[in-house]
Structure 1
Amino acid sequence: MEREKLELPENGKKLLLHSCCAPCSGEVMEAIVASGIDFSIFFYNPNIHPRKEYDLRKDENIRFAEKHGIPFIDADYDMDDWFKRAKGMEMEPERGIRCTMCFDMRFERTALYAYENGFDVISSSLGISRWKNMDQINDSGVRAAAQYPGITYWTYNWRKKGGSARMLEISKREKFYMQEYCGCAYSLRDTNKWRVEHGREKIRIGEKYYGDVTE
């Protein structure tokens, strides 16, 4: 399916794209490149735990950005601050208030960097995942952008017009690392609990890649 030509909202000139990982951002990045939009990747994900998982996701994202010549901004991994913000929400379910906090934290930093560095539009690859609540993500993005004059959050639906299918195709083509949980310590805990209850092995970090023969 042919991609549509994208245009930034509000006559935007330069996009800062928050990226959570290579599999989610691969299709988003290729669609933006194909549309000739000036953009950079902003990698700020202090929620990802443990550090081995964080480094795997970041390195895959850097590899793909370099392949396309896209500037990659590697933000701080302030994990301690994330855990402080998550205090009291440890048992919240996926898509609950802990996830809202997490999106808010990441988008607030994205919006600040955009404001201080000449970007007028921000967006995120998080919304392409069918496991995420797109309204929850967009609400956080809009809130973050509203704090800074001249910054707009782009609420484009990356799943539509074959986006989700191309996301999987690109992941297999590039043999991206396949993360098997959202990213935080609590999603890892809950995913492993579900797997054990259903007779499956716990997640083994760093072992599974898209396109593997054993997939």
Structure 2
Amino acid sequence: MIDLHEILDKMNPNQKINYDKILQKMVANWQRNANRPSILLHSCCAPCSTYTLEYLTQYADVTVYYANSNIHPRAEYQRREYVQQKFISDFNQRTGNNVQFIAAPYEPQEYFLAVRGLEKEPEGGQRCRACFSYRLDLVAAKAVELGFDYFGSALTISPHKNSQVVNSVGIEVQNFYNTMYLPSDFKKNNGYRRSVEMCREYDVYRQCYCGCIFAAKAQGIDLSKTRREALAYLKGKDAAKEFADIKFVYQEKENQTLK
């Protein structure tokens, strides 16, 4: 497996990094060495995972980690979690892949602690960076616990997320864990356009705000209405029964995450 630092250390520290090209180099290396690595991929929602999974599953075994305690309200978190699982199940059935799914506990107070003092930051500012760090830290820790080769995020498919920031956070997080970060810029190569197409093909719900209460209020989102709509959508649905086929089954290992 390739450590991202092996590539970055050879680059001019002042140049803007093309993380898509770095990922392509890593993929080419996997193919030359007949490696098919395992990736624990953070995903905030089904739309972000669409093209990302279509691309990565050509070269790696992928498990989606839904770790998004930033999403408010709880019912909206649950709706996005359900839709994420439905997409994975449908994607597997259509493509013959075996993408699996893990959900982190919903702990919104942990998120609020992570962004304390940054509540009034604009969208895309320091609050978002703190949120990325909070979630990618969870993904890295889980990747170590479960023995994945890489951890990464589907966030870079969004045109509303700065891939330079997401990747720099991922690199920082890697330094604290015995695992490797997977660089990406999934919006490149028409990735975002393909994600929109796949949402239509799979009839995937696309939300109108990133998830956090601060961004929702700044956009004037009616969160009471969002909650009602989410609860109505979830009525009669049981993800545990409907999507048992994608649940990641593992044995707990001794968690030694810090280097």
Give unmatched runs, 5+ long, in structure 2.
1-23, 93-97, 234-259
Q: Give the superposition deviation at 1:85.
A: 2.2
Partner residue of 1:87?
116
Amino acid at match of 2:67: Y
TM-score after normalising by structure 1? 0.83
How far apart in 2 are the matches of 1:32 and 1:24?
A: 13
Higher CA-based Rg: 2
Q: Percent identity, aligned pairs only?
A: 34
How far apart in 2 are the matches of 1:7 and 1:42?
A: 21
How far apart in 1 are the matches of 2:142 and 2:36?
A: 16
How far apart in 2 are the matches of 1:9 and 1:181?
A: 37
CA separation of 1:25 and 1:5: change in aligned 2, threshold 3 A: farther
The 5 Å alignment of 1:84-123 reads 84-123=113-152
Could you tell me which of 175, 180, 183 is aligned with 1:146? Answer: 175
Worse overlay, 128-137 or 64-73: 64-73
Worse overlay, 64-73 or 131-140: 64-73
Give unmatched runs, 5+ long, in structure 1.
194-201, 210-215
Partner residue of 1:71?
100
TM-score after normalising by structure 2? 0.70
Amino acid at match of 1:177: Y
Task: Report the 3-state secondary structure (helix = DSSP H, G, I; strand = E; otherwise coil) of the residue aligned with 2:65.
Answer: strand
Task: Report the 3-state secondary structure (helix = DSSP H, G, I; strand = E; otherwise coil) of the residue aligned with 2:199.
Answer: helix
| Residue 29, structure 1, aligned to residue 67, structure 2 | no
Task: Report the 3-state secondary structure (helix = DSSP H, G, I; strand = E; otherwise coil) of the residue aligned with 2:99.
Answer: coil
- Deviation readout 1:84-135 (Å, 9 max, x if unpaired): 2222211111111111110000000100000111112111110100011111
- Deviation readout 1:49-84 (Å, 9 max, x if unpaired): 001111111111011112213110011111111112
Amino acid at match of 1:53: E
Could you tell me which of 176, 180, 189 is aligned with 2:204? Answer: 176
Partner residue of 1:15?
39
The 5 Å alignment of 1:53-64 reads 53-64=76-87
CA contact 1:47–1:102 (8 Å) conserved in 2: yes
Partner residue of 2:68?
45
Amino acid at match of 2:193: A
Amino acid at match of 2:200: K
CA RMSD of aligned residues (A): 2.3
CA contact 1:56–1:177 (8 Å) conserved in 2: no
